[in-house]
Structure 1
Amino acid sequence: MFKAPLSFYGRIRRTEFALTQILYMITYFFVLVFENNKAVGSWIVIILLLPIYLLISQGAKRCHDLGRSGWWQLVPFYGLMMFFAAGDFGPNQYGDNPKGEGNADYDEFGYDFKTGKMMGAEGSEPSQALREIKPD
């Protein structure tokens, strides 16, 4: 969790997105508390720039998990969908599923990494071309 949080590439789960939102709210609360203190000054608002960048980047990655562009986070009430909707099953154009569900465990030649066997088109028997390469 929280691998490359300032990057706009990849996909994240709902949990990481929600934790980012909670951490931002905690940071914002402390900024509001210290902003009223005259000894600290008004420069403390600058501290919010990094968390806002973090929110935008994490929001873009959550949109990617839903199969949408990162610009969708600007749509009103789409943030609720980002909190509650399940991500795309398996890989999509933005990367593999962060939960690992539906990601291919075999390469383009049909070798299954979990079982150590060659996979066919239907998933159980190797195709004729693969049987010729590696007989059982």
Structure 2
Amino acid sequence: MFQNPFSLKGRISRTEFWLSCFAYLGLISLFFMTMDKSAATIRNTSEHWFVVLILGPCLWLLFVQAVKRSHDIGKSGWLIMNPYYYYQLFFERGQPCTNHHGEDPRVVRLRSVIPDDDLFNYLNEHKRNLGRDN
């Protein structure tokens, strides 16, 4: 999780996207509570640049995470310009296989826990068990 967080390439899972959004909201809330004023009331130029230095990377990180999540469901990153598209990002399951944006993030996570020779057998058995549920 959180590999290359500032890169537009790759895919992230729903879990990582939710965690990114909660971390962003927590950081911004904490930032404004410590500032004790909102961005609209900042009049001093030095305080304004301080806000830009803090919010700039946070906004970029949220933008990049949304693009990566869009890649996970097999869509273009440009769709994040539509505010209603975020509902799809939060709730739609990612593509279960490799797409042209990269490998399934869940499989990448499994590779760190399960050796490569056992991973293929594990995934095939998991698919068979899913077939029994239907």
Q: TM-score, normalised by structure 2?
A: 0.69
Cα deviation 1:85-113 (Å, max 9, x = unaligned): 10011111111111119xxxxxxxxxx94
C-alpha displacement of 1:115: 9.1
Gaps in structure 1 of 5+ consecutive residues: 102-111, 117-136
- Residue 25 of structure 1 is matched in structure 2 by 25
Larger Rg: 1
Gaps in structure 2 of 5+ consecutive residues: 109-115, 121-134
Amino acid at match of 1:49: G
Distance in 2, matches of 1:55 and 1:70, equals 13
| Identity %, equivalent residues | 35
- Residue 6 of structure 2 is matched in structure 1 by 6
1:99 aligns with 2:106: yes
Amino acid at match of 2:74: G
What is the number of residues matched between the two proteins?
106
**Which of 59, 62, 65 lines up with 1:55 in the alignment?**
62
- Residue 123 of structure 2 is matched in structure 1 by none
- Residue 84 of structure 2 is matched in structure 1 by 77
Contact 1:35 1:42 in 2 (8 A): no
Q: Which has the higher helix share?
A: 2
1:44 aligns with 2:45: no
Distance in 2, matches of 1:59 and 1:25, equals 14
3-state SS of paired residue (2:107): coil
Distance in 2, matches of 1:58 and 1:78, equals 14
Q: TM-score, normalised by structure 1?
A: 0.68
3-state SS of paired residue (1:41): helix
C-alpha displacement of 1:74: 1.1
Distance in 2, matches of 1:31 and 1:42, equals 13
